[in-house]
Amino acid sequence: MNKGIIGIVIVLLVLVSGIYYGYYYFTTGVVNVYVQDPPTTQGYKIYLTISSIMLHKVNASNDSWITISNKTITILLTSNMTFLASSRIPSGEYNEIFLEISAAQVQLGNINISAKIPSGVFKIHIINGMDLKGGSSQSLLISFPHITYTNGQIIISPSITAEVIS
């Protein structure tokens, strides 16, 4: 009798686990975030310290901003795609990505200059949006168009874009 009850409990646990995993898998997808800067001949390097990455979910009833990462990372913007973060998030349509920048440095030769990021964030429009299906994965590429150095100030162009690359 006890073996029968144990068998039923095991079957129920396997069934419930399978249903939960199936629901979780088919209602979420994986997003990978990359960044890239066009090649420059100006002789400077840009380092960004990113403390948070979030995506804006379209038509969300609650919590329209979904956190991808709260891990602080410092990256060098280069013409090569640089991986920022990956996360499993709810499926749906997303139209913006948000980068919280805690520091920005520009290296001109041997001189490091702090760059000012107004409000400390980049709120970036995703060209044509991103439709993340359950059980799928998408990759986003954030492109920084250019920076300028004028009158002793480093200006990072606010016209940053993101697009789905896979």
Model pLDDT for residues 75-115, shown as the tens digit of each residue: 998 888 999 999 999 999 999 999 999 998 888 888 888 88
User: How many of the other CB atoms lie within 10 Å of CB of 48?
Assistant: 23
Tokens 């009850």 sit at which residue?
5
Strands (E), the chain: 28-36, 44-57, 65-69, 73-76, 82-90, 92-108, 111-114, 121-132, 137-143, 147-150, 153-156, 161-164
* Contact (CB, 8 A) for 127 and 98: no
pLDDT for the residue 65? 92
Report DSSP state, residue 150: E
- In the chain, the percentage of residues whose pLDDT exceeds 70 is 77
Whole-structure pTM value:
0.78
For residue 8, what pLDDT band results from cuts at 50, 70 and 90?
Answer: confident
The domain locations on the chain are 2-164
The alpha carbon of residue 105 and the mean position of all alpha carbons in its chain are separated, in whole angstroms, by: 21
How confident is the model at residue 95, as a pLDDT? 95
For residue 23, what pLDDT band results from cuts at 50, 70 and 90?
Answer: low
Residue 27 has what pLDDT?
Answer: 84
Average pLDDT of every residue of the chain: 82
Which pLDDT belongs to residue 126?
A: 93
Q: Which residue has the tokens 């939960």?
A: 20
Residue 129's alpha-carbon distances to 115, 118, 135, in angstroms, are: 29, 25, 18
Does the pLDDT value for residue 124 go beyond 70?
yes
Closest by CA to 87, choosing from 28, 161, 19, 134, is 28
User: Does residue 147 carry a pLDDT above 90?
Assistant: no
Residue 37 has φ and ψ, to the nearest 5°, of -120, 140
Q: How confident is the model at residue 29 (pLDDT cuts 50, 70, 90)?
A: very high
